[in-house]
């Protein structure tokens, strides 16, 4: 990957998120570490509840009030965790932007598209209203919103889902961020629009040299635009590597099982798709040892006794690491493994 020696834009280090609930505490993210370089897109994949979104909401300071965050996340040299809102607001929406899953509800219904884009520009960059509006128009054109001048004065409900997600992206890009976090940006959209939005994100990343975290449960999305991929399970990264490596030759049985459960276009399509047996663990009562152990075909006493740590070069090095006592070594024998 060409970004291998680019400076690290976002460095997340041993991040943990615990929610205090009336029924006790709930560990959503455990020791999450990931470094994203400028111009690089890292896909973060995993099932629902794996802690993908919570990790990055923690970075953004957007978690619910009952969340406790430990560990660190740095944007360049600035640390983000433990700052108060006013300090965070020097970065949020400026150097660090986020787009969300549901474009239907993520825009303010009573403000026009133009107002919502221009707002950040006026607030953070101190532009005049006219300058901000002109920039909002340019952004809308850049994210390929059709009929952009008219859209400026429309309300979100007058736009389609795909258009709204483009507006969300325009808002996120308004102040030229260094890091863009995209939390399932295409999940709520239909397939053709998904492809367009992903292509747009890939283009923007390339043109602007942004670092991008792409949170998704869809390995197809990752294959399309990510450079590296981090696979999460039960709040931890279980496998990290380049997209090519991880998708071609998964080392963690969970990654392998995840890949095996994806429909493939070159498959004859006979028989049901393999599903991963069992259920994701309850974050209140994680199994001892490897969290994936109870669902893993290779699990033995060692797996039940001791949780494997993420072995491999440090996350900043960007090559292969895996948290497994019995990493797979061959290529795609995952189908049999589940």
Partner 1 sequence: MLSYALRRIGGVIPTLFIIITLSFFVIRIAPGGPFDDEQTLPPEIKANLEAAYGLDKPLLEQYGRYLAGLVQGDFGPSFKFKDFSVTELIAQGLPVSLMLGLSAVLLALMIGIPLGTLAALRQNSPTDYGIMSVAVLGIALPGFVTGPLFALVFGLHLRWFPVAGWEAGEFRYLVLPVITLALPVIAYIARLTRGSLLEVLRTNHVRTARAKGLPERRVILKHALRPALLPVVSYLGPATAFVITGSLVVETVFGLPGSGRYLVQGAINRDYTLVMGMIVVYGSLTLTLNLIADLLYGWLDPRVRYD
Radius of gyration of the chain (CA): 20
In the bound complex, what is the minimum distance in angstroms from residue 315's beta carbon to partner 1?
A: 24
On the CB side of 208, CA atoms within 13 Å amount to 23
Between 89 and 319, name the residue whose CB sits nearer to partner 1: 89
Q: Is 100 in the site for partner 1 (CB under 8 A)?
A: yes
Q: Is 52 in the site for partner 1 (CB under 8 A)?
A: no
Q: Is 3 in the site for partner 1 (CB under 8 A)?
A: no
Q: How far apart are CA 320 and CA 333, in angstroms?
A: 19
The interface region with partner 1, picked from 32-40, 109-117, 138-146, 254-262 by CB under 8 A, is 109-117
- What is the total residue count of the chain? 338
Phi, psi of 32 (to 5 degrees): -85, 120
Q: Which two tokens stand for residue 102?
A: 């549901």
Q: Is 307 helix (H, G, I), strand (E, B) or coil?
A: coil
Between 42 and 107, name the residue whose CB sits nearer to partner 1: 107
In the bound complex, what is the minimum distance in angstroms from residue 57's beta carbon to partner 1?
A: 8
Residue of the chain from 88, 213, 219, 240 that contacts partner 1 (CB under 8 A)? 88
Applying the rule CB under 8 A, the residues between 136 and 165 that interact with partner 1 are: 155, 157
Element (H, E) at 192: helix 191-208
Q: Is 110 in the site for partner 1 (CB under 8 A)?
A: yes
Checking DSSP bridges between strand 78-79 and strand 67-75, what pairing results, if any? antiparallel
CB atoms within 10 A of CB 244: 13
Q: Which residues contact 94 (CB under 8 A, 6 or more apart)?
A: 120, 124, 175, 177
Instruction: Enumerate the β-bridge partners of residue 58.
Output: none
In the bound complex, what is the minimum distance in angstroms from residue 158's beta carbon to partner 1?
A: 9
Q: Is 108 in the site for partner 1 (CB under 8 A)?
A: yes
The residue assigned the tokens 């599903």 is 275
Q: Which two tokens stand for residue 184?
A: 């399932």
In the bound complex, what is the minimum distance in angstroms from residue 173's beta carbon to partner 1?
A: 12
The interface region with partner 1, picked from 12-20, 46-54, 73-81, 168-176 by CB under 8 A, is 168-176
Between 124 and 251, name the residue whose CB sits nearer to partner 1: 124
Q: Is 78 in the site for partner 1 (CB under 8 A)?
A: no
Q: Is 191 in the site for partner 1 (CB under 8 A)?
A: no
Between 91 and 233, name the residue whose CB sits nearer to partner 1: 91
Phi, psi of 139 (to 5 degrees): -65, -45
Instruction: List residues binding partner 1 (CB under 8 A).
Output: 60, 62, 85-86, 88-94, 97-98, 100, 102, 105-111, 119-120, 123-124, 155, 157, 168, 171-172, 174
């Amino acid at each position: 990957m060409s970004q291998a020696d680019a400076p690290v834009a976002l460095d997340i280090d041993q991040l943990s998120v615990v929610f205090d609930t009336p029924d006790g505490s709930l560990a959503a993210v455990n020791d999450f570490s990931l470094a994203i370089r400028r111009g690089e897109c890292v896909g973060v994949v995993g099932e629902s509840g794996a802690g993908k979104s919570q990790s990055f909401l923690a970075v953004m300071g957007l978690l619910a009030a009952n969340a406790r965050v430990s560990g660190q996340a740095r944007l360049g040299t600035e640390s983000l965790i433990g700052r108060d809102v006013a300090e965070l607001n020097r970065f949020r929406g400026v150097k660090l932007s986020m787009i969300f899953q549901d474009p239907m509800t993520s825009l303010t219904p009573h403000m026009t598209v133009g107002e919502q884009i221009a707002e950040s520009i006026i607030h953070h960059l101190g532009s005049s209203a006219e300058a901000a509006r002109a920039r909002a128009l340019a952004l809308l054109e850049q994210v390929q919103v059709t009929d952009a001048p008219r859209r400026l004065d429309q309300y979100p409900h007058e736009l389609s889902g795909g258009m709204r997600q483009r507006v969300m992206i325009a808002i996120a890009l308004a102040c030229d961020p260094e890091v863009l976090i995209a939390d399932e940006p295409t999940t709520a959209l239909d397939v053709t629009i998904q492809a367009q939005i992903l292509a747009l994100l890939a283009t923007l990343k390339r043109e602007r040299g942004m670092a991008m975290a792409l949170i998704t449960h869809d390995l197809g999305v990752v294959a399309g635009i990510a450079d590296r991929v981090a696979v999460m399970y039960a709040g931890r990264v279980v496998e990290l590597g380049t997209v090519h490596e991880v998708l071609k030759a998964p080392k963690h049985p969970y990654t392998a099982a995840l890949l095996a459960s994806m429909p493939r276009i070159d498959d004859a399509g006979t028989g049901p798709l393999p599903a991963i047996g069992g259920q994701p663990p309850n974050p209140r009562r994680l199994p001892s040892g490897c969290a994936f152990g109870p669902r893993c075909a290779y699990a033995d006493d060692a797996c039940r006794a001791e949780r494997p740590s993420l072995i491999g070069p440090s996350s900043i090095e960007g090559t292969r690491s895996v948290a497994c006592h019995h990493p797979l070594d061959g290529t795609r024998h995952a189908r049999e493994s589940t």
